[in-house]
Amino acid sequence: MTTASTQTVPVAESVAATPGSALKLRGLRRSFGGVLALDGLDLEAGPGELVSLLGPSGCGKTTALRIVAGLQAADEGQVFVDDKDIVSVPAHKRDMGMVFQSYSLFPNLSALDNVAFGLRLRGLAARARRARAGELLELTGLTEHAAKFPHEMSGGQQQRVALARALAVQPKVLLLDEPLSALDAVVRVQLREEIRGLQTRLGITTLFVTHDQEEALSISDRVAVLNEGKLEQCATPAEIYTRPATPFVAAFVGSMNRIPGELRDGKVELAGGVIPVVATPGSPTGGPVTALVRPETVHLAFDDAGPATVVRVSFRGPVTRVTSLLTDGTELHADLASGLAEEFTPGRRVRPLYGPDPVLVLAAE
Ligand code: ATP
């Protein structure tokens, strides 16, 4: 800690002392020419909560974030922070901290001056600015890099500076737009854990845009899955994965078998077994369907008269994916504990066994 910093409120304390704000998006609509980017998006993040926006390219994640930041106007809808509608508040008065995919640091300023920059706009005296920026760099593990310019730092370090800069102004809400996607895999995982640690410690309400499902599932309190500008489901990572509300969520998050079957009395009959079905609005009530079944819920038994033949085995560390072909040509993936998978070699006839949990079905494909 620098001498000057002792004259100000330590930033770690001052940021932490700010209670997280509640963020609410209501009926956001936005189109660009003929493209409807947001189609009535509703979403909430509670105080101190990290909510990820997850969805395929073009589903409106960045547009939603930019509208919250005030960098883009909505055609319709409202954004509330602590129940105050901020739609007509200009971006620089919204108290949002933002980190983008590209590091977007000022190339001619040191790490310290980059972090201090936003504080100057807020009218803080030079000494207090440097002190606070120094503390943010300490918080993000960058003290020894304070004097470096962006081109002298790694991507991960630059993104930490961007994070420190966003946090320096004690934002009510932190907005992260794919902040890790330009980094290599190892740094990505490390930095996402650091972001989560910092976010939890500071209790700052955060929206995190990503198209990487593993990232969303691992970092979030809740994950909001978007599709074509609408919210499909917003729930905890475990709920999103184990109880997807819609076939879209089921298919988008994690891998999924699509097995043809016959729906009768709330159960789907498949080659090798019967599974209970979750009824969702608009889903079929009977007849030929496609069942969505997670590979880790499929088990296999050796059976010379079984309806499937092993065609491929792929070792993935703790789990081995055994792929079989059903007699109708459908591929069936089973993720087995590697210790149990050794004897499932190509050519073996097997009978699939399914877990007891209900699955979603689609109209037959
Ligand atoms: P990605 O993961 O690829 O970044 P996204 O989910 O963040 O996608 P958005 O960037 O919000 O999606 O874009 C949503 C839709 O709106 C896309 O079809 C995009 O092409 C369109 N769009 C977004 N911004 C503009 C713009 N300024 N002008 C024209 N079209 C735009």
Sequential DSSP letters for 154-186: -HHHHHHHHHHHHHHT--SEEEEESTTTTS-HH
Handedness of CA 57, 61, 62, 64 (dihedral sign): positive
pLDDT for 1: 34
**Is 32 a pocket residue for ligand 1 (Cβ < 6 Å)?**
yes
Q: 319-326 and 331-337 as β-strands: parallel, antiparallel, unpaired?
A: antiparallel
Kindly give the confidence (pLDDT) of every residue in the chain, 365 residues in length, as a single tens digit, with 9 standing for 90 and above.
333 333 344 444 444 446 789 999 999 999 999 899 999 999 999 999 999 999 999 999 999 999 999 999 999 999 999 999 998 899 988 889 999 888 789 999 999 999 998 888 778 888 999 999 999 999 888 999 999 999 999 999 999 999 999 998 889 999 999 999 888 888 889 999 999 999 999 999 999 999 899 999 999 999 999 999 999 999 999 999 988 888 889 889 999 999 999 999 999 999 889 999 988 888 889 999 999 999 999 999 999 999 999 999 999 999 999 999 999 999 999 999 999 998 999 999 999 999 888 899 988 87
**Is 63 a pocket residue for ligand 1 (Cβ < 6 Å)?**
yes
Report CA(59)–ligand 1 centroid distance (Å): 7
Q: Residue 133 carries which DSSP code?
A: H
**Two tokens at 178?**
């794919």
pLDDT for 71: 93
Report CA(35)–ligand 1 centroid distance (Å): 9
pLDDT for 186: 86
DSSP secondary structure of 58-109: TSSHHHHHHHHHTSS--SEEEEEETTEE-TTS-GGGS-EEEE-SS----TTS
**Is 66 a pocket residue for ligand 1 (Cβ < 6 Å)?**
no
**Is 59 a pocket residue for ligand 1 (Cβ < 6 Å)?**
yes
Handedness of CA 283, 288, 290, 293 (dihedral sign): positive
Task: Report the predicted TM-score, pTM, of the whole model to 2 decimal places.
Answer: 0.85
254 torsion bin: left (phi>0), alpha (psi -120 to 50), beta (else)? left
**Is 58 a pocket residue for ligand 1 (Cβ < 6 Å)?**
yes
Residue type for position 138: E
**Is 56 a pocket residue for ligand 1 (Cβ < 6 Å)?**
no
Report CA(58)–ligand 1 centroid distance (Å): 5
Name the residue of 54, 62, 66, 181 whose CB sits within 8 Å of the most ligand 1 atoms, as the mutation to test its pocket: 62
